[in-house]
């Protein structure tokens, strides 16, 4: 149960607010400044809406919209004025916040970056999207792995940005590193609605982990984002679901202590444990090998599908981006 969105908060609860932010259209530094102010104002709205809210989550592209504009003039820096405004707002309103920036990259295309800031204004998590939504998105693939941080009231937080959540390996890594709540921020549009819902539920169930997920909402005159904020409990059951209403804040109370309890005491369907302990009834401790060829090949840098050479779309030309000649540079 969701505690009626936090109206009846329990001592062990974490109340999360998901902001179905109106899809912005930002092309100039002045518009970027105005959108930053709007996000900070909505954070204040979230606090006024719920005095017990612990964490407010804004969607991917909350400052930039879906234009895929990589103009350096509207890119952000880790220590830039937009981040400073977010930190000040979290401190002022005594609340944790999750935000999205497009981060300037001096070596290539910008990063699609998410941050979690605590209620004292400290940056607790800094994450670069691992899987840009190619071929549509031009962003540099993330090079910081998947960080996890301590959150409010016994929570452990991880962040997956939009398309990241379509890869079960990303959610598994979040849980493997100890996250009991995975945030997923997105700018998805209506054709992805069904995939959005089932992956949010699968990411929760397969990892015994709460997922809190939110998209942009409304139209910028070109695109229509879908809103559809949803919080899914660790058993895969949706707790609350939003509509497509722009700037609506969906709230739910989640219980990280019950996630932690289930991970210890569940036997049947404790799948994240059983992945590394196959068949422990028949074999003491279970088999702890790695029978998955794709994992072994990826570690060796030899990941190749049987149909790899036949894949038709392998660059962004179809969306107006010239093929890149620059190789990936790990941090």
Residue 1 pLDDT class (50, 70, 90 cuts): low
The bridge status of strand 238-241 relative to strand 181-186 is: unpaired
**Residue whose tokens read 């959005």:** 196
Extract the tokens encoding 325.
């000649």
SS3 18: strand
- Going from the C-alpha of 88 to that of each of 26, 95, 123, the distances in angstroms are 22, 11, 11
CA 154 – CA 149 distance, rounded (Å): 11
Domains delineated in the chain:
4-269 (3.60.110.10)
Looking at residue 329, its pLDDT comes to 84
Q: How many CB atoms lie within 10 A of CB 259?
A: 25
Question: Which member of 60, 82, 173, 253 is catalytic?
Answer: 60
48-96 pLDDT, tens per residue?
Answer: 999 999 999 999 999 999 999 999 999 999 999 999 999 999 999 999 9
Contact (CB, 8 A) for 219 and 23: yes
Active site residue 162: yes
224-245 pLDDT, tens per residue?
Answer: 999 999 999 999 999 999 988 9
Question: Which member of 162, 173, 215, 228 is catalytic?
Answer: 162
Looking at residue 8, its pLDDT comes to 86
- Is the preceding omega at residue 239 within 30 degrees of 0, hence cis? no
b/e sequence 299-327, b meaning 16+ C-beta within 10 Å: eeeeeeeeeeeeeeeeebeeeebeeeeee
Active site residue 9: no
Contact (CB, 8 A) for 196 and 60: no
Active site residue 107: no
Q: Is the pLDDT of residue 180 over 90?
A: yes
Question: Which member of 40, 76, 98, 129 is catalytic?
Answer: 129
């Amino acid at each position: 149960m969701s505690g009626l969105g936090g109206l009846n908060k329990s001592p062990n609860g974490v109340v999360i607010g998901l902001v179905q932010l109106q899809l912005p259209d930002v092309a100039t530094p002045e518009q970027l400044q105005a959108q930053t102010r709007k996000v900070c104002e909505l954070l204040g709205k979230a606090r006024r809406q719920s005095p017990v809210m612990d964490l407010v989550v804004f969607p991917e592209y909350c400052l930039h919209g879906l234009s895929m504009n990589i103009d350096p003039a509207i890119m952000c820096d880790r220590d830039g004025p937009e981040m400073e405004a977010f930190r000040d707002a979290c401190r002022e309103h005594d609340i944790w916040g999750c935000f999205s920036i497009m981060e300037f990259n001096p070596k290539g295309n910008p990063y699609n970056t998410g941050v979690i800031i605590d209620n004292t204004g400290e940056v607790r998590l800094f994450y670069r999207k691992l899987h840009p939504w190619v071929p549509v998105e031009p962003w540099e693939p993330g090079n910081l792995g998947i960080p996890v941080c301590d959150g409010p009231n016994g929570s452990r937080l991880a962040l997956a940005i939009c398309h990241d959540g379509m890869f079960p390996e990303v959610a598994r890594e979040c849980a493997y590193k100890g996250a009991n709540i995975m945030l997923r921020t997105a700018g998805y549009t209506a054709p992805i609605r069904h995939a959005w819902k089932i992956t949010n539920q699968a990411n929760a169930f397969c990892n015994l982990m709460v997922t809190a997920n939110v998209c942009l909402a409304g139209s910028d005159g070109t695109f229509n984002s879908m809103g559809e904020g949803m919080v899914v409990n660790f058993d895969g059951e949706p707790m609350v679901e939003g509509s497509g209403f722009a700037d609506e804040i969906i709230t739910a109370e989640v219980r990280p202590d019950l996630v932690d309890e289930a991970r210890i005491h569940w036997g049947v369907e404790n799948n994240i444990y059983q992945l590394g302990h196959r068949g422990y009834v028949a074999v003491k401790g279970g088999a702890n090998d790695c029978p998955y060829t794709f994992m072994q090949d990826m570690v060796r840098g030899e990941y190749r599908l049987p149909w790899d050479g036949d894949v038709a779309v392998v660059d962004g030309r179809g969306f107006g981006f010239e093929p890149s000649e620059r190789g990936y540079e790990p941090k």
